Amino acid sequence: MSSSRGDRDFLGLVNFGVFLVVVGSFFAFTPNLVDRLKEFITDFELLEISQGIYLPVVRGPHPEVYGFFLWLAIAMAVTNALILVARYIIRDSVRRRADTFSGIIFWAGIAFLADQLFRQNLEFQAVYSYFIIIAGVSILSSGIGLLLARRASRPQTG
């Protein structure tokens, strides 16, 4: 049952629903999370990284906020992994499988980044570089997956 352009991505809706449930659960069960997020946001300052170039960075550690992002990212990586299995079972389109795999890579990368911040193994200004790397690897994984699928579906000649 392959997907066409007009088909709704019900598994994508499941993914978004899980995201909302996880975020809502954190706010419901984590005392003072709103206060911690507010402290995090107000703790930003501009850091000059090169002459005339400034980036916003956080002044102090915020383990509760980093822990929130860590567990959110883990939950989303696991959700994407389960959805990828479901996409193979229902024979969903290669594009959706590649995009879901890309989501696993992205959320696993964010989990790693949040863990490093949580453990205070990383200066906040490095977050920008790592985020760009994570986004790039995620996009590459989707593109490579599509390329390999296209190559595998071509008839073998020779």
Answer yes or no: is 4 within a domain.
Answer: no
> How far apart (Å, rounded) are the C-alpha atoms in residues 8 and 15?
13
> How far apart (Å, rounded) are the C-alpha atoms in residues 139 and 155?
27
Coil, strand, or helix at residue 27? helix
pTM comes to 0.84
Answer yes or no: is 126 within a domain.
Answer: yes
Per-residue model confidence (pLDDT) at position 157:
63
* Number of domains the chain contains: 1
Answer yes or no: is 38 within a domain.
Answer: yes
Per-residue model confidence (pLDDT) at position 124:
83
Answer yes or no: is 157 within a domain.
Answer: no
Residues 106-121: tens digit of each pLDDT: 999 999 999 999 999 9
Q: Where do we find the tokens 């964010």?
A: 110
Alpha-helical runs (H) found in the chain: 10-29, 33-42, 63-89, 94-118, 126-153
CA terminus-to-terminus distance, the chain: 31
* Domain with 48 in it: 10-152
User: Where does the pLDDT of residue 62 fall: very low under 50, low under 70, confident under 90, or very high at 90 and above?
Assistant: very high
Answer yes or no: is 19 within a domain.
Answer: yes
Centroid of chain to Cα 134: 8
Per-residue model confidence (pLDDT) at position 1:
47
